[in-house]
């Protein structure tokens, strides 16, 4: 009981201002309490849709982020050598003049000589548009280094994504599987949701090699081996197919399961969906008739082989899926050892999923209209939800793993049905979304679109006439065709190598590539300092923008100091990474709550001013002056398309419109009056089945989220992938160069698959690509898979089979038998909290955590100092025994270890002395040295594929962190 005289609600300051947190990616609403103009206290905004008043330790520690000694305070110009941290302070005018000179020269010469890359969640709606107006194709944010596999697999499969673009139906789900979810992402919403599940007694299953935060409250922890999530999901699919526990009605209504796939080995249409003259996909119905698959009220067949009206043979897409996953390779007993999950557990999990989805189905009395105009009195729910994050994504097999998970959801009827995974507006969009990466410049020098997008055919790639990459990071090349978020991790290496060409300026915004936003970190820093024979740096200019004195600052030629998040406007836009939840579209702003006390400027203001100085279209007025006063002005007045701006709330001259409408000069004032956020509720009839729900799609079209109200077909079979595969097989005008064909053919399988995570691009084995696998014939959709195909269906042609692929496996796993992963600390979002005095009290250094059995096998004791080695080198670290780590895996917190000299930390700071960075052991190249260490479909950095061994130190009690890399790039001496 609180003391009677204790006044819990005493004002903490003399003013309270509302804005949006930026201590992690959740974007919670906060109230900043000020006293005499200084920040005294931060708490959660109870009216905010994201957190409803909840604040976490990171969020309330924003005070120390704002007053951090590591803040930059003045523009800096390098005077020493790169890496020496020797700068002279300059005025903003000089800084902008220098930047405008470098950038202006580039734009006049060749805009692609600018590589503009940003860290996460950094106003991409602005930065992407700025790059487009500048005219460089070399733009991206950090998604390629983070979780593009998650985004791309989702967008190509069902027009949505896990991550922050969808959520479990927290109010109704009875069974939640969390796959590789770290606590740093979507933190407060997930915590609030898990609380609801615990209160209702719903089962929570966590699939993760480490039982960290969410795992601690889960009902079951599946201690999976890293990189095998797709194999486990495939085994669950195998089991569901074998036991007939599949939602066939859902499949034929909402997915392309029944669409006929042409079987014409060697023909240019092999593997494509058969279509009629109007372009509608075809399906077979009872009696073997071939009809338009999009027509309602048919009973399509999903098994068998059929003859099309023109004589070609075709099979339903579901047939191919069943052939793949009914194969023995996906049988629980055949994946158990590899996954680290016993077969009985896999079978039980599949049975629990099926029982919950089908035997405990729910029915909501919500009437709705489907896209065919049919009225439905209720909505059927499959109360099984999945959520996944970086843990399944950051592997070279992550794209297919994510797709496998989505297929598992589809088989259970568990995408956007009551109790399952739900889209958050503005999703769903077409699968894949309509935007393609820009490929050309217009006469005014701007690109013909955003530099990033979703290719749907080889014609969308950025390659030259010989098939070589056009982008500096090789995104959208034949090596990484669907690199929808770019490949931040490859930029520096390629720029230094001049591969495919030299650049002039590397322009980075909060992308700490001198440390934890790079693989092979020490080597990356060395590359930043590499010189031509004549003495010039190989990357002639580096402009770096940050609010803090991070490791990368030391390598910049020009440093532009940003404000803290409490000193600037920001826009959390539906054009970017929205804060919607499943029931409401929402966006928000940050608004300055204090004035900067240093000579710093918001980066967005600086970017717009640079644009005006460069006379970029859309940023300069007719007289050559700035079109926008500052970013706040841009937020209000800029229109991406007529009526479509960065903020969706209070649009129109009178502020009465939502979604679309003319700019409203008072828009920001309205947001401030409403706690800096806006939301619009999804109509009740549009609550679920949004991919086929006319009520929802009409609302979404009115809001500007979708262009049309037709159904969005879920892609059980991804025809887009087949188009690339056909090109690799020699069809079409755009084909990969000879050396890329095998790789594209192998990985662009339209049916999800699993392959081992560490690969070398050895020559393709060239096994038969016959589609003559034995299949059942003439079965109706009520025929069950195990009857139609038998238990030993053949895998899709040309695909590696689960567990197969030794010809592709990097040699050396015997030498490096352990998996090594890192987790973002839940108490420090990425490394942003490392200089935060309050958060540093939680941890100032990291350890290497390993299961006690793993340590015992190596003769290593808890708290010993030992070596962790990869092919790249070795690091001496202190270990902690951790029973909540899967045997065979070691892990650490990411980026607690710091580079000496950065972040204004004391030279004796534990971050320098004891902490370490696992990235030093992760090669940027794959084992062959030919390709990036990345997913071959999307270019996603495969940093969770790291394999290591522990080497016992003969003097384990002697403290001392050291780094010994193979090339001896850097040795950090013992303290
Ligand atoms: S969860 Fe993230 S956004 Fe929300 S209060 Fe915590 S740090 Fe801030």
> Of the segments 698-702, 773-777, 803-807, which one has the largest average pLDDT value?
698-702
| Atom 4 of ligand 1, residue of closest alpha carbon | 28
682 CA distance to ligand 1 centroid (A)? 25
Instruction: Compute the distance between CA of residue 26 and CA of residue 578 in angstroms, rounded to an integer.
Output: 10
47 CA distance to ligand 1 centroid (A)? 15
Instruction: Compute the distance between CA of residue 712 and CA of residue 408 in angstroms, rounded to an integer.
Output: 18
Contacts of 770 (CB under 8 A, 6+ apart): 265, 797
187 CA distance to ligand 1 centroid (A)? 7
Q: Which pLDDT value is given to residue 684?
A: 97
Where in 851-888 does DSSP place strands (E)?
A: 865-870, 873-881
**Total number of residues shown for the chain:** 975
Give yes or no for residue 339 having a pLDDT over 60.
Answer: yes
| pLDDT per residue as tens digits for the range 16-36 | 999 999 998 889 999 999 999
Atom of ligand 1 nearest to the CA of 20: 3
391 CA distance to ligand 1 centroid (A)? 21
Ramachandran region, residue 888 (left: φ > 0; alpha: ψ -120 to 50; beta: rest): left
Q: What is the average pLDDT score of the chain?
A: 91
184 CA distance to ligand 1 centroid (A)? 9
| Atom 2 of ligand 1, residue of closest alpha carbon | 24
H helices, E strands: number in the chain = 26, 37
Measured in degrees and rounded to the nearest 5, phi and psi for residue 101 equal -65, -50
Atom of ligand 1 nearest to the CA of 55: 5
Closest residue by Cα to residue 609 from 634, 589, 585, 588: 634
Instruction: Classify 384 as helix, strand or coil.
Output: strand
DSSP state of 519: S
Cβ proximity of 757 and 396 under 8 Å: yes
Residue 626: CA atoms inside 13 Å, Cβ hemisphere, count? 14
| pLDDT per residue as tens digits for the range 835-884 | 899 999 999 999 999 999 999 999 999 999 999 999 999 999 999 999 99
**Which class for 457: exposed (0-12), middle (13-18), buried (19 or more C-beta within 10 A)?**
middle
Is residue 967 very low, low, confident or very high in pLDDT (cuts 50, 70, 90)?
low
| Atom 5 of ligand 1, residue of closest alpha carbon | 59
182 CA distance to ligand 1 centroid (A)? 14
Q: Which pLDDT value is given to residue 6?
A: 65
Give yes or no for residue 274 having a pLDDT over 90.
Answer: yes
| pLDDT per residue as tens digits for the range 470-488 | 999 999 999 999 999 999 9
Atom of ligand 1 nearest to the CA of 187: 1
| pLDDT per residue as tens digits for the range 89-108 | 999 999 999 999 999 999 99
The C-alpha angle with vertex 665 and arms to 660 and 671, in degrees rounded to 5, equals 75
**Protein residues whose CB sits closer than 6 Å to any atom of ligand 1:** 21, 23-24, 26-28, 51, 55-56, 58-59, 187-188
Cβ proximity of 819 and 890 under 8 Å: yes
Give the pairing of strands 873-881 and 848-850: parallel
Residue 53: CA atoms inside 13 Å, Cβ hemisphere, count? 2
Radius of gyration of the chain (CA): 27
Cβ proximity of 258 and 367 under 8 Å: no
Instruction: Compute the distance between CA of residue 122 and CA of residue 471 in angstroms, rounded to an integer.
Output: 21
Average pLDDT over residues 214-228: 95
Q: Which pLDDT value is given to residue 5?
A: 64
| pLDDT per residue as tens digits for the range 499-530 | 999 999 999 999 999 998 899 999 999 999 99
Give yes or no for residue 895 having a pLDDT over 60.
Answer: yes
Cβ neighbours, 10 Å, residue 798: 22
Residue 210: CA atoms inside 13 Å, Cβ hemisphere, count? 26
27 CA distance to ligand 1 centroid (A)? 6
Give yes or no for residue 265 having a pLDDT over 50.
Answer: yes
pTM tops 0.85: yes
Q: Flag the least confident range among 555-564, 588-597, 791-800.
A: 791-800
Average pLDDT over residues 141-162: 93
Atom of ligand 1 nearest to the CA of 30: 5
| pLDDT per residue as tens digits for the range 534-582 | 999 999 999 999 999 999 999 999 999 999 999 999 999 999 888 999 9
Task: Report the Cα 357 to chain-centroid distance in Å.
Answer: 28
Contacts of 680 (CB under 8 A, 6+ apart): 584, 585, 586, 648, 649, 658, 659, 703
Cβ proximity of 413 and 360 under 8 Å: no
Instruction: Compute the distance between CA of residue 720 and CA of residue 754 in angstroms, rounded to an integer.
Output: 18
183 CA distance to ligand 1 centroid (A)? 11
Pocket probe for ligand 1: among 19, 20, 26, 63, the residue whose CB has the most ligand atoms within 8 Å is 26
Look at the block and give the residue holding tokens 């399988």: 749
17 CA distance to ligand 1 centroid (A)? 17
User: CA–CA distance from 416 to each of 180, 183, 380, 661, 770 (Å)?
Assistant: 21, 24, 10, 29, 36
Cβ proximity of 96 and 558 under 8 Å: no
Give yes or no for residue 760 having a pLDDT over 50.
Answer: no
Closest residue by Cα to residue 557 from 508, 599, 487, 490: 508
Atom of ligand 1 nearest to the CA of 58: 7
């Amino acid at each position: 009981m609180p003391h009677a005289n204790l006044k819990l609600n005493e004002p903490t300051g003399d003013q309270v201002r509302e804005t949006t947190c930026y201590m992690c990616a959740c974007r919670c609403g906060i109230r900043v309490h000020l006293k005499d103009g200084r920040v005294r206290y931060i708490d959660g905004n109870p009216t905010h849709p994201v957190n409803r008043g909840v604040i976490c330790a990171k969020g309330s520690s924003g005070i120390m982020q704002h007053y951090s000694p590591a803040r930059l305070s003045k523009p800096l110009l390098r005077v020493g050598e790169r890496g020496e941290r020797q700068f002279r302070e300059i005025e903003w005018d000089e800084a902008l003049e220098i930047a405008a000179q470098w950038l202006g020269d580039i734009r006049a010469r060749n805009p692609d000589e600018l590589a503009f890359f940003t860290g996460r969640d950094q106003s991409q709606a602005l930065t992407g548009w700025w790059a487009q107006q500048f005219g460089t194709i070399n733009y991206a944010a950090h998604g390629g280094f983070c979780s593009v596999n998650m985004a791309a697999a989702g967008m190509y499969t069902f027009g949505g994504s896990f991550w922050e673009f969808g959520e479990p139906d927290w109010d109704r789900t009875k069974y939640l599987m969390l796959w590789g979810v770290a606590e740093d992402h979507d933190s407060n919403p997930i915590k609030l949701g898990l609380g609801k599940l615990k209160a209702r007694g719903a089962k929570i299953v966590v699939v993760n090699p480490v039982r960290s935060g969410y795992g601690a409250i889960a009902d079951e922890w599946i201690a999976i081996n890293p990189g095998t999530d797709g194999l486990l999901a495939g085994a669950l699919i195998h089991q569901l197919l074998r036991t007939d526990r599949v939602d066939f009605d859902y499949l034929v209504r909402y997915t392309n399961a029944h669409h006929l796939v042409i079987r014409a080995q060697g023909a240019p249409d092999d593997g494509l969906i058969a279509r009629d003259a109007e372009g509608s996909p075809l399906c077979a119905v009872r009696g073997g008739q071939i009809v338009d698959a999009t027509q309602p009220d048919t009973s399509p067949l999903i098994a068998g082989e059929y003859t099309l009206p023109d004589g070609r043979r075709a099979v339903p897409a579901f047939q191919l899926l069943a052939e793949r996953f009914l194969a023995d390779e996906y049988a629980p007993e055949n994946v158990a050892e590899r996954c680290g999950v016993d077969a009985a557990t896999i079978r039980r999990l599949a049975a629990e999923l099926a029982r919950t989805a089908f035997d405990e189905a729910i029915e909501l009395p919500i009437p709705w209209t489907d896209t065919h105009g049919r009225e439905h009195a209720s909505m059927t729910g499959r109360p099984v939800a999945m959520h996944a994050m970086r843990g399944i994504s950051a592997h070279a097999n992550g794209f297919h793993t994510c797709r496998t998970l989505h297929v598992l959801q589809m088989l259970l009827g568990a995408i956007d049905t009551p109790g399952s995974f739900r889209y958050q507006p503005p999703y769903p969009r077409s699968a894949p979304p309509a935007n393609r990466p820009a490929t050309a410049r217009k006469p005014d020098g701007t690109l013909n679109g955003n530099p990033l997008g979703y290719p749907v055919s080889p014609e969308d790639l950025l390659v030259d006439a010989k098939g070589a990459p056009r982008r500096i990071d090789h995104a959208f090349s034949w090596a990484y065709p669907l690199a929808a978020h770019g490949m931040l991790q490859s930029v520096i290496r390629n720029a230094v190598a001049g591969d495919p060409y030299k650049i002039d300026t590397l322009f980075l915004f909060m992308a700490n590539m001198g440390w934890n936003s790079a693989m092979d970190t020490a080597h990356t820093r060395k590359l930043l300092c590499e010189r031509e024979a004549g003495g010039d740096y190989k990357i002639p200019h580096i402009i770096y923008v940050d609010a803090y004195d991070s490791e990368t600052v030391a390598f910049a030629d020009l440093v532009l100091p940003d404000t803290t998040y409490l000193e600037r406007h920001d826009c959390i836009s539906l054009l970017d990474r929205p804060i919607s939840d499943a029931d409401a579209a929402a966006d928000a702003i940050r608004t300055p709550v204090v004035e900067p006390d240093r000579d710093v400027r918001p980066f967005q203001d600086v970017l717009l001013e640079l644009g005006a100085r460069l006379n970029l279209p859309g940023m300069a007025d007719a007289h050559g002056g700035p079109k926008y006063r500052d970013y706040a002005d841009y937020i209000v007045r800029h229109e991406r398309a007529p009526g479509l701006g960065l903020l969706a709330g209070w649009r129109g001259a009178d502020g009465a419109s939502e979604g679309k409408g003319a700019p409203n000069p008072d828009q920001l004032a309205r947001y401030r009056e409403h706690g800096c956020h806006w939301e619009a509720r999804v109509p009740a009839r549009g609550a679920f089945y949004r991919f086929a729900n006319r009520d929802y799609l009409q609302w979404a079209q009115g809001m500007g989220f979708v262009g049309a109200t037709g159904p969005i077909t879920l892609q059980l079979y991804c025809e887009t992938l087949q188009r690339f595969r056909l090109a690799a097989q020699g069809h079409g005008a755009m084909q990969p160069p000879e050396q890329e064909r095998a790789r594209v053919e192998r990985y662009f399988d339209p049916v999800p698959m699993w392959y081992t995570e560490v690969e070398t691009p050895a020559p393709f084995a060239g096994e038969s690509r016959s589609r003559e696998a034995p299949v059942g014939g003439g079965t109706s959709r009520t025929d069950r898979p195990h009857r139609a195909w038998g238990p030993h269906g053949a895998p899709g042609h040309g695909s590696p089979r689960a567990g197969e692929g030794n010809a592709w496996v990097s040699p050396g796993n015997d030498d490096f038998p352990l998996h090594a992963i890192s987790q973002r600390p839940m108490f420090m979002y990425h490394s942003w909290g490392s200089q935060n005095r309050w958060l540093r009290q939680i941890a100032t250094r990291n350890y290497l955590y390993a299961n006690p059995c793993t340590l015992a096998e190596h003769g290593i004791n808890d708290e010993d100092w030992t070596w962790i080695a990869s092919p790249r080198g070795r690091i001496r670290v202190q270990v902690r025994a951790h029973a909540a780590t899967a045997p065979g895996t070691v892990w650490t917190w990411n980026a607690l270890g710091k580079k000496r000299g950065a972040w204004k930390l004391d030279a004796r700071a534990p971050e320098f002395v004891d902490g370490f960075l696992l990235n030093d052991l992760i090669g940027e190249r794959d084992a062959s040295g030919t390709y990036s260490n990345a997913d071959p479909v999307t270019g996603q950095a495969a940093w969770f594929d790291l394999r290591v061994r522990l080497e016992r130190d003969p003097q384990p009690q002697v403290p001392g962190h050291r780094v010994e890399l193979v090339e001896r790039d850097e040795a950090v001496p013992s303290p």
